[in-house]
Amino acid sequence: MGIVNVTPDSFSDGGSYASVDDAVKHGIQMVSDGADLLDVGGESTRPGSDPVSADEELARVVPVIQRLTHELPDTPVSVDTRKAEVARSAMEVGAAIVNDITAGADPDMFQTVRQAQAGMVLMHMKGEPKTMQEDPTYYDVVAEVRGSLGERVEEAVAAGIGMDQLCIDPGLGFGKTLEHNLAILHDIDALHHLEVPVLVGPSRKRFIGALTDAEVDDRLEGTAGVVAWCAARGVDIVRVHDVKEMVRVVRVVDAITRRA
């Protein structure tokens, strides 16, 4: 999954693709580099970020999604949003997936996804982006993340969304310390018990910087290490900025694991 941020303030590439033309060009290049799907987001959810209005988010993502789905008709496009209003408008112009960091907290989100017969990524987050990294605590982070995601899967299914439409994301860096992230990755197999695909988004994140003493634009090798680990353990989707390099990593790991 290639990341197309159309925000001025995302932690890694904020402002780099803020115009529609630049964002679309970037998405097309990602697909050329091997991305299987694209994730378009118009609201930064980095630690400490403030929310934006639905109108602002719509103005950012709808034109980009409309263009991408027209120019890349065979590539699924996801909208990265926690607002049902934004999800609805994005799907009206071609988005096929809703990637929701709140796992459907908006009371209208599940109904919106069900009506559109879209796919949905349910992500785990403890707290809100503004304050989630201040002091996140868990008794057993792996068990708690798995339990929370299992509950959200059940809620989505009860709302009429099929299991085959769902995917889960443990939310690395969203209300989690370095040790929490490492514990989740070490036991990532535990999420397979929920019987839906697993997505992991490690790309350029702060915990990689902490491990490698690297700034945000110098975390390629650290990201590759996490992607390789995830691919070897059956993670279905990795959400990344550096598509060309991560596609190569995954192809090599897949070739090795298929020999097992």
**Residue 90: exposure state from Cβ atoms within 10 A (0-12, 13-18, ≥19):** buried
Q: What is the pLDDT along the chain (260 residues), one digit of tens a residue?
A: 999 999 875 444 444 556 899 999 999 999 999 999 999 999 987 777 678 899 999 999 999 999 999 999 999 999 999 999 999 999 999 999 999 999 999 999 999 999 999 999 999 998 777 766 777 889 999 999 999 999 999 999 999 999 999 999 999 999 999 999 999 999 999 999 999 999 999 999 999 999 999 999 999 999 999 999 999 999 999 999 999 999 999 999 999 998 86
CA end-to-end span of the chain, whole Å? 26
* CA separation for the pair 224, 213 (Å, rounded): 15
Residues contacting 186, CB < 8 A, separation 6+: none
Assigned fold of 2-257 = TIM Barrel (3.20.20)
Residues forming the active site: 205, 239
